Amino acid sequence: MSHTTNATLATKLVSFDVFDTLLTRRVTSPHSVFYFCAISAIEEGLIHCSAETYVKLRREAETVTRTGQPDWQTDDRRIFDFLAKLLVTTPETGQRLRALEIEWERKMLVPIPGAAEMVDKERISGHKVAFVSDMYWSTDVIRTFLSDANFIREGDQLLVSAEHGASKDTGRLFHKLMELNPGVKAADIRHHGNDEYIDYKGALKAGLKGVLLPRANPTNYEVILEAHREETDGLAGLLAGTGRLLRLNYAHLSGHTAGMARIIGDVVAPTLVTYVLWILKEAKVRGLKQLCFVARDGYVPYLICNRLSKAMGFDIQAFYMYGSRQSWHTPGLHEFDEVSFSWILENFKGASVESIFKRVSMSWEEINEIAPEVRSLFSSPDQEVTADVQSKIRNLIETNTVLKEHILNIAREKRELLLAYLDQEGIDFNLKTGMVEIGWAGRTRISFERILGEEKSQNLHWFYFGLLPNIYLHDQHRISTFIHGLDLTYKSINGLPVIIESFCFAPHGSVLGFERQGNKIVALFNQVGEEELDKWGRNKYFVIMDRFCDLLPLDIMSSMKFYNLRNPAYNLLKVFVESPSRDDAEVWGSIPFIHDQFGKNSTILAPKTPVNARTVREALTFGKFILVGNAGVLGVWGAGAWAKRDWRVFPLYFFTFAGHMRVKGRSEFGRVFRETKTYVKRIFNLE
């Protein structure tokens, strides 16, 4: 939302709000500055309460000292004198706390991208410049903040509410500005600020022109992150502030690029950074000597690990290791058991008879040669996979001895090649090693450990972002999950696996296997969907992620203790995955996605929801908008598809309501009855 009145040639004076208009903080809530001040105060032995308790007392001191003051204004002297009394400490300690807060403000404040150019443009146009702030700091302190960022010049004016007992929202501080400029009328002044009520409407009250600049105001995701300040020792606030800085750096670019930067800064990067920091902390506790980030989902976490590990005090070697379900499953095939058939026959969206056999490295031509009966079993190699097709393929493999031995021979050859690749990469599995994957079924772990052998497998500890409920969790003491799985109690987020996978790009396709080229063993990649990913902006994604890491205040982060990194990640993801905005869905929902590694085509995460037999059936079945368009399998972001809806999906509202009443009807009627009964009791005073 932006309100702007036309600036005329009569404008003589241009004023600017300071905080979140010209300067912003590395945290999105000013109260987080109090939190970091408290940490320093605890280290110095100045206070003996928790950091969060200090924040509450610091806020109370400000509120109490505002009471009864003109325009509800106070100053830093009153605040810290009263804070010292609340803390039952000396006035000298109160002054030291004041000094610490100023130090932390200076550490946290950074110029908003483009703000200096905006002010300079006004100067070049011949306008006089003033800075007007509703703030408890003195003029000298705020002048220091502005000077640090090289904003203020000789001849500029600075008005602070604390020294005038007047605020912007009443318009009285603007009247003070006019008193200091007697030759300038209200209509000759244009004020810029981020707050619609205080800056824009306050300026209008005083008769000034107003320009609203809300771009530095925190997004809903940044607010969610900031709420987890205490349990992350302040980290969540820093991640929220870094996300804001990132999106401000890209706000001037095209809608798609700016949207990518916003989502990466607010959701993707904080999620993956917390995941990597959790891994590093767990690895240190478990005494692991190396981490192997498995391609391709491990590429971005690997890059983040390289950027953070040493700076954060973690001494561990990291490898990026080519691997995938396809490149591990076949080499790990020693026999055809239930686990083997579970990945061979898994029915992804778009899977065909041909793609099923490709999973065991057999082309359609080879199958026809070794098992000619396939011609009578299946109508074509592109036949869609159904339960009947799965049963026929399983029976064919189990009854055709030649075919079975041929597949096992292929598996042996691929196993030898993969072991040679691991040796080539210098990964010593005799050391305690962390294996980093995204998840979600845990079957690749079984295949890899069958390749490596039981003795070396005992040195492995597996880190997953999440695991779905399954039967493949042997040796659970060697598994850790970040969000879903094992002993974690978070409620399921529908569509989360595919969204997390969409965060994890790599500069190559999924790994299909390995081959020997001269003296070197190289990985083979699937190219389906790669061109579409590049068009979407894969390379921009890497640049933006790298920029996020550049903006992280690692000097502050390095001394932090992280109590719970899961909660902020979970709550961010829940809102993004289940309640995306249209802009979220348009940008992120357009990512190409491959369901089956041997599929011939890619689809996008969130195509627009159509009205057809399938979506009507889903509406009646689930009674939830976000499940309409999920296609019944992972790979389509139902909530994103629904967010992109237009008027043509209006009939689905009726079918979804009917489905909701079918699923929740009894509880809904009960709720209405209880609320009506309570209302009647209150009306007739029966309680």
As beta bridge partners, residue 564 has none
DSSP notation for 252-305: TS-HHHHHHHHHIIIIIHHHHHHHHHHHHHHHHHTT--EEEEETTTTHHHHHHH
Q: How much is the average pLDDT of 420-433?
A: 95
Spatial separation of the C-alpha atoms in residues 264 and 436, rounded to whole Å: 21
CB-based contact 28:240 (threshold 8 Å): yes
| 210 in the same domain as 234 | no
Local confidence band at 6 (pLDDT 50, 70, 90 cut-offs): very low
User: Per-residue pLDDT for 660 more than 90?
Assistant: no
Token pair, residue 371, equals: 């098992």
Query: Residues in the chain, how many?
Result: 687
Poorest-pLDDT segment among 167-181, 477-491, 642-656: 477-491
Alpha-helical regions (H) of 30-89: 31-43, 51-66, 76-86
CB-based contact 509:529 (threshold 8 Å): yes
DSSP notation for 437-490: E--SS-HHHHHHHHHH-HHHHTTEEEEEEE--S-S---SGGGEEEEEESTT--P
**Is residue 3 in some structural domain?**
no
Higher pLDDT: 4 or 653? It is 653
Poorest-pLDDT segment among 30-34, 466-470, 631-635: 631-635
> Which pLDDT score, from 0 to 100, does residue 599 have?
60
> Which pLDDT score, from 0 to 100, does residue 138 have?
96
> Which pLDDT score, from 0 to 100, does residue 632 have?
42
Q: What is the mean pLDDT of the chain?
A: 90
Q: Final residue of a domain: which of 193, 216, 239?
A: 216
CB-based contact 259:587 (threshold 8 Å): yes
The string of pLDDT tens digits covering residues 440-480 is 888 889 899 999 999 999 999 999 999 887 656 678 889 99
| 327 in the same domain as 244 | yes
Long-range contacts of 265-269 (CB under 8 A, 24+ apart): 265/544, 265/548, 266/219, 266/221, 266/222, 266/225, 266/240, 266/572, 267/221, 267/572, 267/573, 267/576, 268/503, 268/545, 269/239, 269/242, 269/243, 269/545, 269/548, 269/549
CB-based contact 611:652 (threshold 8 Å): yes
Rounded percentage of the chain residues whose pLDDT exceeds 90 = 67
As beta bridge partners, residue 191 has 15, 210
Spatial separation of the C-alpha atoms in residues 328 and 107, rounded to whole Å: 48
**Is residue 264 in some structural domain?**
yes
> Which pLDDT score, from 0 to 100, does residue 26 have?
97
> Which pLDDT score, from 0 to 100, does residue 633 have?
41
What is the four-CA torsion angle of 135, 136, 140, 145, rounded to 10 degrees? -50
Q: Which of 109-113, 407-411, 442-446 is the most confident on average?
A: 109-113
Domain count, the chain: 3
Q: How much is the average pLDDT of 352-378?
A: 89
> Which pLDDT score, from 0 to 100, does residue 597 have?
62
User: Per-residue pLDDT for 635 more than 60?
Assistant: no
Spatial separation of the C-alpha atoms in residues 390 and 344, rounded to whole Å: 9
Q: What's the CATH number where 202 sits?
A: 3.40.50.1000
User: Per-residue pLDDT for 555 more than 50?
Assistant: yes
CB-based contact 596:634 (threshold 8 Å): no
| 229 in the same domain as 172 | no
**Is residue 259 in some structural domain?**
yes
User: Which of the 8 DSSP states describes residue 610?
Assistant: P
**Is residue 238 in some structural domain?**
yes
User: Per-residue pLDDT for 7 more than 50?
Assistant: no
User: Per-residue pLDDT for 631 more than 60?
Assistant: no
Local confidence band at 179 (pLDDT 50, 70, 90 cut-offs): very high
666 exposure class (CB count in 10 Å sphere: 0-12, 13-18, 19+): exposed
Q: Compute CA 681 distance to the chain's CA centroid, rounded to the nearest angstrom.
A: 46
> Which pLDDT score, from 0 to 100, does residue 610 have?
82
Q: How much is the average pLDDT of 33-38?
A: 97
Local confidence band at 282 (pLDDT 50, 70, 90 cut-offs): very high
> Which pLDDT score, from 0 to 100, does residue 618 have?
84
User: Per-residue pLDDT for 360 more than 60?
Assistant: yes
**Is residue 372 in some structural domain?**
no
**Is residue 352 in some structural domain?**
no
636 exposure class (CB count in 10 Å sphere: 0-12, 13-18, 19+): buried
| 467 in the same domain as 517 | yes
**Is residue 619 in some structural domain?**
yes
- Look at the alpha carbons of 371, 377, 380, 386 in this order and tell me if their dihedral is positive or negative: negative
Q: How much is the average pLDDT of 76-89?
A: 97
| 288 in the same domain as 211 | no
The string of pLDDT tens digits covering residues 493-513 is 888 888 999 999 899 999 989
Nearest to 242 by CA among 495, 544, 553, 462: 553
Poorest-pLDDT segment among 194-203, 281-290, 559-568: 559-568
| 148 in the same domain as 292 | no
Local confidence band at 634 (pLDDT 50, 70, 90 cut-offs): very low
Domain residues for the domain of 631 are: 606-666
> Which pLDDT score, from 0 to 100, does residue 541 have?
97
Spatial separation of the C-alpha atoms in residues 98 and 62, rounded to whole Å: 12
> Which pLDDT score, from 0 to 100, does residue 1 have?
44
| 76 in the same domain as 48 | yes
Q: Final residue of a domain: which of 580, 595, 628?
A: 580
**Is residue 359 in some structural domain?**
no
> Which pLDDT score, from 0 to 100, does residue 511 have?
92
Question: Cα 298–301–306 angle (5° rounding)?
Answer: 120
User: Per-residue pLDDT for 202 more than 60?
Assistant: yes
476: CB partners within 8 A, 6+ apart:
486
Q: Which of 320-334, 610-624, 648-662 is the most confident on average?
A: 320-334
User: Per-residue pLDDT for 351 more than 90?
Assistant: no
Rounded percentage of the chain residues whose pLDDT exceeds 70 = 95
| 273 in the same domain as 178 | no
| 188 in the same domain as 66 | yes
| 449 in the same domain as 502 | yes
Q: How much is the average pLDDT of 320-331?
A: 91
CB-based contact 214:2 (threshold 8 Å): yes
| 169 in the same domain as 30 | yes
Q: How much is the average pLDDT of 44-56?
A: 96
Q: How much is the average pLDDT of 235-255?
A: 95
Q: Final residue of a domain: which of 198, 216, 234?
A: 216
Q: How much is the average pLDDT of 522-530?
A: 90
User: Per-residue pLDDT for 139 more than 50?
Assistant: yes
**Tally of CA atoms within 13 A in the half-sphere of 223 that contains its CB:** 6
Question: Cα 556–562–565 angle (5° rounding)?
Answer: 115
| 306 in the same domain as 183 | no
